[in-house]
Chain A
Amino acid sequence: MAGTRSRQRKGFVGPLGDDFPSIFPIVAGVVLFFATLAYANGVIQEKNDYLDVRKAALGLSYLVTRTGSIDYGYLGMVTCSQELAAYAKSRSVKYHVIVKGACNGIEFSETAEELFGLEDESLYVSCGSEEGESVAEQAMNSNPVIMNFPVAVGCPSYSSNTNGLGMLTVVTWR
C-alpha cells in the first residue's frame, strides 16, 4: 500500500512547488502587457502634444496671413500683442513671428539665429510671446513647429512705399 502511494506521488513537490514554474510566464506576460500600455500612453501623449502645437501653429498662421501683405505697425500693435497672444494663450503655446524682406529673392535660414533674424539686415519685424535674446535658443530646444509663408513687404527697404518679396515665419512651441 505504501509502495503504491509513493508511485502516485512521483515528481510531486507539493501544491505550491508544482505550480511554481508557471509563475514565470505569467509574471512576464503581466509585465510585458503593462509595460506596453505605459509605452503606448507615453507615445500617444507625445503625438497629441505635437499635433496640438501644429494645430495652434496653423491657427496662428491663418491670423497673420489673412491679407497677403504685412502692415508692420498693425502686426506689432494689434495682431501680435492682442490677437495672436489671446489665441496662443488659449492653446497654451508660445510663438514668435518674423517678417523678413527678400527683395532680390528668398534665401533660407540655416541656423536658429539666422531664422530669428538677430542682427540681420533683412529683419523687418519680429514679435512674440517671449522676449529677450534667448528666445531663439528656447524655441529651438522645444521641438518647435516652423511655418513659412510668402508675403508682400516694403522693398527695397523696410520703409519703402513699393512692395516686393518677403517671407513670414511663424514659430510655435510649448
Chain B
Amino acid sequence: MRKGQAAIFDGITFLLLATFSATLIFTAVGTYGEQEDEVMRSSYVINYMQTVSKAFYHVDAQQLAGVCGEGGDKCEEIEVYADLAGKCVELEQYLPGISLSDLLKKDLADPGSPVLDDSYGGIEALGKTATRCAAKEFMKPFTSAGYDYVIEIVQPSSVALIGDAETGESAVIKTSTPIISNLPENAKENDYIEEKDGFVETSVCFNALNAGEKVFSVASPFKVTSKNSNGKIIENQLVLRVCMWPSRQQISSTLLRS
C-alpha cells in the first residue's frame, strides 16, 4: 500500500469511529431521563389517588347531588354512568355535615358481614352511590386520559389484600353491581369483573393486575363501627383501595366528552 492510500484509509477509519461514537451518544441521549420521568409521573398519579382518598373524608354527601344534574355532565349519554343520571340527586336528602366517608361507613356497617350495596341492614344508606358520584368527577382527568379505575373495600386480614387461595376467603367486601368503577360492561369479557347474582366478591384490581395491566394502587385504613348479631359494638378495620391503570380498551367518544 502506498503512503497516500494508507493516510486516507486512516482518515476514513477515524470518520467511521467518530460516526459510531456519535450514534452511541444519540442513542444514550434519546433515552436519558426516561426512567426518572416515568417514576415522577407515577408519583403524580399516586399523589392524585391519595388526594382522592383524603377528599372522601371532607366532601359532604349532600353536595354531590349536583353531579349529573343541571349544569353538570349528561350522564345518560355516558354508558358507564348512565344509571347515575337520576341517582346522585337522591343524595340531597342527607343533612349537611354528613360526609361521603360517613355515608360509606354506614353502608358498610351492616349487622353480620359488611356489604357495599347502598343499604344498612335493609335501610337505605347511599354510600356506594355517593362514592360513585364523587369518583366520577374526581377521576375525570384520568378517565379522559384513558385510564380505568376501581374503588373497593378490602379486608386487611386476608393474605396480601387479595384473598386466601387455600380457604377461598375473599379479600374484597361484597359489592352490588354496578361497582365503583368506570369499567364498561364489556370489561366482563376480560374477567376483571366477576359478577355472581348481582354481586362482585373478587378484587377487580387484582384481576386487572393479573391480566398484565400496569396498576397503580393506593390503600388507606377505613375503620367501620357496626353491631354484631348480639347487639355488641364491634370495630371492623377495613381498607379503602383506589386502583387505576392505563386502559387498553377503546375509549368511546362519549367517555372523552365526560
To the question of whether A and B form a pair in one complex, the answer is yes
Query: Within 8 Å of chain A (Cβ to Cβ): is B165?
Result: no
CB neighbours (8 Å) of B59 from chain A are: 152, 163-165
CB neighbours (8 Å) of A54 from chain B are: 37, 40
Closest to A39 in B: B29
Asked if B96 and A151 sit within 8 Å, CB to CB, the answer is: no
Closest to A37 in B: B25
Question: Would you give the shortest CB distance from B146 to chain A, in whole angstroms?
Answer: 15
Asked if B7 and A19 sit within 8 Å, CB to CB, the answer is: yes
Question: Would you give the shortest CB distance from B220 to chain A, in whole angstroms?
Answer: 11
Interface residues on A, range: 35 or more
Task: Please report the C-alpha to C-alpha distance between residue A47 and residue B32 in the assembled complex, in whole angstroms.
Answer: 8
CB neighbours (8 Å) of B28 from chain A are: 40
Task: Please report the C-alpha to C-alpha distance between residue A19 and residue B9 in the assembled complex, in whole angstroms.
Answer: 11
Asked if B14 and A165 sit within 8 Å, CB to CB, the answer is: no
Task: Please report the C-alpha to C-alpha distance between residue A138 and residue B122 in the assembled complex, in whole angstroms.
Answer: 57
Query: Within 8 Å of chain A (Cβ to Cβ): is B71?
Result: yes
Give the interface segment out of B46-54, B150-158, B171-179, B185-193: B46-54
B42-67 interface with A by 8 A CB criterion: 43-44, 47-48, 50-60, 62-64, 66-67
CB neighbours (8 Å) of B140 from chain A are: 105-106
Closest to A102 in B: B137
CB neighbours (8 Å) of B63 from chain A are: 103, 155-156, 162-165
CB neighbours (8 Å) of A159 from chain B are: none
Query: Within 8 Å of chain B (Cβ to Cβ): is A115?
Result: no
Asked if B29 and A22 sit within 8 Å, CB to CB, the answer is: no
**Per-position contact with B for A4-35: 1 when CB-CB < 8 Å, else 0?**
00000001000000110111111011101100
Task: Please report the C-alpha to C-alpha distance between residue A67 and residue B55 in the assembled complex, in whole angstroms.
Answer: 8
**Per-position contact with B for A31-71: 1 when CB-CB < 8 Å, else 0?**
01100110110011001101100110010011001011100
Task: Please report the C-alpha to C-alpha distance between residue A32 and residue B15 in the assembled complex, in whole angstroms.
Answer: 8
CB neighbours (8 Å) of B50 from chain A are: 65
Asked if A36 and B22 sit within 8 Å, CB to CB, the answer is: yes
Asked if A65 and B22 sit within 8 Å, CB to CB, the answer is: no
Task: Please report the C-alpha to C-alpha distance between residue A24 and residue B22 in the assembled complex, in whole angstroms.
Answer: 18
Query: Within 8 Å of chain A (Cβ to Cβ): is B4?
Result: yes
Question: Would you give the shortest CB distance from B171 to chain A, in whole angstroms?
Answer: 25
Question: Would you give the shortest CB distance from A101 to chain B, in whole angstroms?
Answer: 10
Closest to A35 in B: B22
Task: Please report the C-alpha to C-alpha distance between residue A150 and residue B52 in the assembled complex, in whole angstroms.
Answer: 6
Contact of A29 among B14, B36, B55, B57 (CB under 8 A): B14
Asked if B66 and A25 sit within 8 Å, CB to CB, the answer is: no
CB neighbours (8 Å) of B196 from chain A are: none
Question: Would you give the shortest CB distance from A68 to chain B, in whole angstroms?
Answer: 3
Asked if B11 and A26 sit within 8 Å, CB to CB, the answer is: yes
CB neighbours (8 Å) of A32 from chain B are: 15, 18-19, 22
CB neighbours (8 Å) of A61 from chain B are: 44, 47
Q: A18-B3, A36-B22, A106-B140 are in contact. Are A165 and B29 (CB under 8 A)?
A: no
**Per-position contact with A for B190-201: 1 when CB-CB < 8 Å, else 0?**
000000000000
CB neighbours (8 Å) of B62 from chain A are: 162
Query: Within 8 Å of chain A (Cβ to Cβ): is B33?
Result: yes
Query: Within 8 Å of chain A (Cβ to Cβ): is B1?
Result: no
Task: Please report the C-alpha to C-alpha distance between residue A50 and residue B71 in the assembled complex, in whole angstroms.
Answer: 38
Closest to A61 in B: B47
Q: A22-B11, A28-B15, A58-B47 are in contact. Are A104 and B55 (CB under 8 A)?
A: no
Q: A44-B32, A105-B67, A164-B64 are in contact. Are A33 and B37 (CB under 8 A)?
A: no
Pick 21 A–B contacts, CB within 8 A, sort by A. A22-B8, A22-B9, A22-B11, A26-B15, A29-B18, A44-B32, A47-B32, A51-B36, A65-B47, A65-B50, A65-B54, A67-B58, A68-B54, A105-B67, A105-B72, A105-B140, A150-B55, A163-B59, A163-B60, A165-B63, A165-B137
**Apart from A30-B18, A44-B33, 18 more pairs, CB < 8 Å:** A21-B8, A22-B8, A25-B11, A32-B15, A36-B26, A40-B29, A51-B36, A51-B37, A54-B37, A55-B40, A65-B54, A104-B71, A105-B73, A147-B44, A149-B47, A150-B55, A156-B63, A164-B60
